[in-house]
């Protein structure tokens, strides 16, 4: 995939370009003529597959579930019309979040490290949803198209001057034209950021959060990285200035009433992420113990300590740490899943099964619970049951490469070689490796040659993937 890096660069430049003025785009405006909603959707899915194939991701079901549910909650009060969202959770401790055309929402694990409250996290995500709802990518293409003629004319004049013997003057003309174009793009980008701030604040308040979390988040980031020569990617693509902070603070203070600032669930997710980027479980155990020594009532710190103890193999201590939390909230999913981890590690599979079945009665569609049940079934050697549960999960999460990867493993354990190759094909397609995907379907088709119906279905899927590959290659030229 040698086109991955230039594609990302081009996309990042295009999405940074904004519209002129503050008017919102209409369905019949020029930006819609340049790139349609469906084209944005297709481009976004193509780009997502490339990201998945090139960048490490966090496969924590609880964290994925939190990001998805929280962003969908924000989308309900946003101006976003097309809510066919797809998510990617990147395994990076650096703060970043982004929105790509077609409803792609990306979050670095590091966002949870830097956003100290749920309202601060929500302020970043509301800002990104505003980029999507205002179609800044499509409007940027329109702006770029308007700039194209004067930029090309300026560069052509510089080339002609150089060819006529003006020498350095011609080169300087080209450089100045490029600099002017870059400066214009930056101006557009600032307009986009201001618009996303303003619309994000409205959405934040409508969703029930404290709008003042947005300027607070920006202010802390600016203080932290004021003198850094290389600030994090988030501040490079979302530059923070005193005027931007003042503007968002002034707007936030106009809202009356008290919004949500934080939640225990968010802090539990923060604890999981903090442990992910801790050097060792032992270091995390010391840190969470220190927090509890200062304030024994911090439930998120107690939960973090239990998770660190599980990772460190201290199962008995982890169980003791969890007991007060389970007594306080016996049906909490995170606490119970931590106990399931302990029970599975201790080979107490009956207790783990009973716990999961009880919770699934209360929360039948919960993704982390269903995933835990599948893991337990595999450990119990109930492979056919695990495959059936994976089939049910794929009906709801058909575009999740992690689930297709596990399906391939389960079918391999079951001895279903054709199904194994089919699942691998879906996994590779979702991570942008269409050559591998088609190779896997070829393996499956050869093995299914004696079964006409099965071979026909594989052949049809093969044609679909060939067309997807063709479209992506065409878009990325």
Please, are residues 62 and 269 in contact by the beta-carbon 8 Å criterion? yes
Is 433 a catalytic site residue? no
Distance CA 48, CA 104 (A): 7
Structure token pair of residue 23? 């008017």
Q: Is 127 annotated as a binding residue?
A: yes
Element (H, E) at 104: strand 104-108
Distance CA 440, CA 428 (A): 9
CA-to-CA separations, 418 to 205, 319, 391, 444, in angstroms, rounded = 51, 42, 16, 5
| Among 187, 244, 199, 196, CA closest to 221 | 244
Question: Among the options 60, 86, 128, 142, which is catalytic?
Answer: 128
Question: Among the options 40, 197, 343, 462, which is catalytic?
Answer: 197
| Among 201, 180, 189, CA closest to 136 | 189
Distance CA 319, CA 327 (A): 12
Q: Is 37 annotated as a binding residue?
A: no
Please, are residues 419 and 441 in contact by the beta-carbon 8 Å criterion? no
| Among 207, 213, 208, CA closest to 251 | 213
Neighbour order of strands in the sheet with 104-108: 86-90, 104-108, 97-100
Is 128 a catalytic site residue? yes
- HSE value, Cβ hemisphere, 13 Å, CA-based, for 442: 7
| Among 159, 156, 157, CA closest to 167 | 159
The catalytic residues are 128, 197
Write out the binding residues for Zn(2+): 127, 131, 193
Q: List, as residue ranges, the binding site.
A: 127, 131, 193
């Amino acid at each position: 995939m040698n086109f991955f890096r230039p594609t990302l660069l081009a996309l990042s430049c295009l999405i940074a370009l904004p519209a002129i003025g503050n008017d919102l785009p209409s369905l019949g405006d020029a930006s819609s003529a340049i790139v349609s909603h469906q084209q944005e959707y297709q481009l976004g899915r193509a780009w997502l597959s490339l990201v998945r194939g090139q960048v490490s991701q966090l496969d924590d079901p609880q964290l994925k579930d939190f990001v998805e549910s929280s962003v969908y909650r924000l989308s309900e009060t946003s101006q976003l019309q097309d809510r066919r969202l797809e998510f990617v959770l990147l395994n990076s401790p650096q703060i970043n979040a982004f929105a790509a055309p077609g409803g792609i929402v990306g979050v670095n694990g590091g966002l949870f490290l830097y956003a100290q409250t749920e309202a601060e996290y929500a302020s970043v995500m509301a800002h990104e949803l505003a980029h999507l709802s205002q179609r800044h990518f499509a409007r940027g293409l329109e702006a770029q198209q308007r700039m194209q003629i004067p930029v090309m004319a300026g560069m052509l004049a510089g080339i002609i001057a150089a060819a006529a013997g003006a020498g350095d003057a011609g080169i300087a003309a080209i450089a100045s034209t490029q600099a002017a174009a870059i400066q214009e793009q930056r101006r557009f980008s600032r307009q986009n950021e201001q618009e996303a701030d303003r619309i994000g604040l409205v959405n934040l308040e409508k969703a029930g959060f404290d709008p003042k979390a947005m300027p607070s988040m920006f202010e802390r980031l600016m203080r932290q990285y004021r003198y850094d020569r290389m600030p994090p990617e988030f501040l490079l693509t979302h530059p923070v200035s005193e005027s931007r902070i003042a503007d968002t603070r002034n707007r936030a203070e106009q809202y009356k009433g008290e919004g949500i600032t934080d939640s225990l669930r968010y802090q539990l997710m923060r604890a999981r992420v903090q442990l992910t980027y801790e050097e060792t479980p032992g270091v995390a155990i010391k840190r969470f113990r220190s927090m509890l020594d200062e304030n024994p009532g911090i439930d998120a710190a107690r939960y973090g300590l239990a998770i660190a103890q599980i990772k460190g193999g201290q199962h008995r201590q982890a169980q003791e740490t969890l007991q007060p939390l389970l007594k306080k909230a016996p049906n909490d999913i995170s606490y119970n899943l931590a106990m399931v981890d302990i029970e599975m590690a201790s080979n107490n599979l009956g207790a783990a099964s009973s716990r999961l079945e009880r919770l699934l009665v209360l929360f039948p569609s919960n993704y982390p619970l269903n995933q835990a049940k599948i893991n337990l079934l595999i450990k119990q050697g109930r492979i056919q049951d695990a495959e059936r549960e994976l089939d049910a999960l794929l009906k709801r999460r058909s575009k999740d490469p992690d689930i297709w990867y596990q399906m391939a493993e389960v079918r391999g354990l079951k001895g279903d070689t054709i199904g194994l190759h089919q699942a691998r094909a879906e996994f590779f397609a979702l991570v942008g490796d269409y050559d591998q995907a088609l190779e896997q379907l070829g393996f499956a088709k050869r093995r299914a040659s004696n079964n006409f119906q099965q071979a026909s279905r594989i052949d049809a899927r093969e044609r679909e993937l060939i067309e997807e590959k063709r479209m992506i290659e065409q878009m990325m030229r």
